[in-house]
Amino acid sequence: MKLQRSTVILVAAALLLGGIVLVTQSRQSDSNSATTEPSDRTATPVYEFAEADVVFLQIATAAQTVVFEKDADGFWQMLEPTEQPAEEAAIAFLLSRLVTDGLVNTTTIEAASPADFGLDEPFAIVDLTLADGTTHQLILGDPDFSGQNYYALIDPATFPLTDEVSDIEVAIVGENIFNGVDRPLEEWQAVVEDSPAEDASEPDENSDDTNTNTDPDDGANTDAGDSEDPRNNAEESDGDR
């Protein structure tokens, strides 16, 4: 039995459409897998040490330089520009980003082009010292083409960069690293509140002084009144005579 020509055409068209659908789905799958790769990289730490290992932190920008150090009790203290307790949450935010999800990607640049990435005059230089004496340095440059990440140097051998090597590996760090560094001075300083008990004690002391000062006057008045009685009695006795 021979198939009609129209039936053959319909079967061929169905097979062709099915093939197109399979190819399209395959391409979409490849595209989705390609776009998920960068998101996997965003959960990469900049440094492998633990946040609690850091005992010294210095952040230098064009606007200011702030220096912090942990005291014997494990609390952060500001050393510069003033000596006072530091804001623990601000320091913890920056350190947590450095040891968890701060590194987005890495790239390679020519040694002669650091200015193109803001690495000749960086926005910030972050110096860290660990409890074992190990030191680390992060140089934070300009934002990348997306405007959401920033170019950085992680523990560069030398800085400023030199032309002695042909290529330099540059890190691309997340925006939270920039936000953790770019703070006004007051956000680095802990808020120290006065003790209400000390303020309440002052009125009581003044009140005691007032009561103490009035006692001599009362005594003087009483003595004066008592001293008049002998004279009056003496005059009355003379009149009787």
Please give the single-letter amino acid code of residue 71. D
Considering only CA atoms, which of 107, 106, 105, 99 is closest in space to residue 39? 105
Q: In the chain, where are the structural domains located?
A: 51-188
Whole-number pLDDT of residue 193: 74
Mean pLDDT, the chain, rounded, equals: 77
What does the pLDDT look like over 162-219, one tens digit per residue? 766 678 899 999 999 999 999 999 999 998 776 555 555 555 555 454 444 444 444 4
With contact defined as beta carbons under 8 Å apart, do 182 and 61 qualify?
yes
Whole-number pLDDT of residue 212: 46
Percent of the chain predicted with pLDDT > 90? 49
pTM: 0.64
Whole-number pLDDT of residue 68: 98
238 is written with which tokens? Answer: 């003379």
Q: Which residues of the chain have pLDDT under 70?
A: 1-8, 10-43, 163-165, 194-241
Whole-number pLDDT of residue 128: 98
Whole-number pLDDT of residue 221: 46
Cα–Cα distances (Å) from 190 to 87, 88, 92, in that order, read 4, 7, 13
Whole-number pLDDT of residue 220: 44
With contact defined as beta carbons under 8 Å apart, do 94 and 159 qualify?
no
Whole-number pLDDT of residue 233: 47
